[in-house]
Chains A and B, each alone.
Chain A
């Protein structure tokens, strides 16, 4: 009895273990959170999983488990915070089940003891990403967007062959026209923007990233992308912890 009481108290006091990205341009009815792996233990993140997620966790390769848990943790945290802010309901992280849909686009179910399992994909758009011990997630109300996509990448050096494969020829030459540090930054930013767009579309890598052109990037955190056959699409980007780039798109 005492144990149950303690669990209830701990859940009532659940705090989202994440940092809100202040510099990301505000989007209506949208929440974005970023979480560092060293801010919360794997055991804590594991305790937030549903039974189905714990079964899924066992299938993940050992070396990928921490990042997978981190993604689930930040995903559940942003959903929890968003529902509390926009619906005034307190759904606890362990009642939220993140699931993959066809094409790899994630969505989530709410597993309520009285209401049963409710799929939320008709009400919300959801996206998450992780990179080298940092994860980020985004949720938006379905009535304001057809899809959201978020991507986080550690600023890194890309093998030249990889860069040439995902950048258009013009982008490649534009990125290479800088010193080494700026080149790394520009190539990572291009990948990040394209990946966020592919996630928002719900296709993932089924559309080749080279079919997307980055038309413009400004220093204020905005960018314009163009997929062949589609109208131009605005995107947002920011840096966090001086090491990572985050790109976000609401269609």
Chain B
């Protein structure tokens, strides 16, 4: 099981690189839809999470999450062994 700090770092890096944002623009309370420039970027972010963490149901689950903290909590609570 990864530590929360490690997951938080990975999530922020994925968001920053996929959405072309500065790390400073991303907080735990940031709303994912607000960070995305448009729906295509949001879709690409969802695919990036699915690919990085290799969780089969990630698309449907992650799309329902609202904030950066929600994503971090979701990934941390996903059973060990489903992460890459």
Contacts and interface: CB of A to CB of B under 8 A. Distances in A.
Q: Is the interface of A mostly helix, strand, loop or mixed?
A: helix
Interface stretch (A18-26, A139-147, A158-166, A222-230): A158-166
A59 B46 contact: no
A165 B34 CA distance: 22
Interface string B20-32: 0100010000110
A159 B18 CA distance: 12
Contacts of A64: 34-35, 37
A59 B43 contact: no
B42 A191 contact: no
Interface in B44-73: 44, 46-47, 59-60, 63-64
Interface stretch (A46-54, A74-82, A108-116, A202-210): A202-210
Contacts of B46: 205
A191 B59 contact: no
B9 interface: no
Contacts of B5: none
B49 to A, nearest CB: 12
A151 B35 contact: no
Size category of the binding interface on chain B: 20 to 34
Given A61-B30, A161-B47, A162-B47, A206 B39 contact: no
Contacts of B44: 159, 162
Interface of B: 21, 25, 30-31, 33-35, 37-40, 42-44, 46-47, 59-60, 63-64
Given A64-B34, A162-B44, A166-B43, 12 more contacts: A59-B31, A61-B21, A61-B35, A64-B37, A130-B38, A151-B39, A153-B40, A159-B44, A162-B40, A195-B39, A205-B46, A208-B59
24 contacts: A60-B34, A61-B25, A61-B35, A62-B25, A64-B35, A64-B37, A67-B37, A68-B34, A151-B39, A153-B38, A158-B40, A162-B40, A162-B47, A165-B43, A165-B47, A166-B43, A204-B39, A205-B39, A205-B43, A205-B63, A206-B60, A206-B63, A208-B60, A209-B43
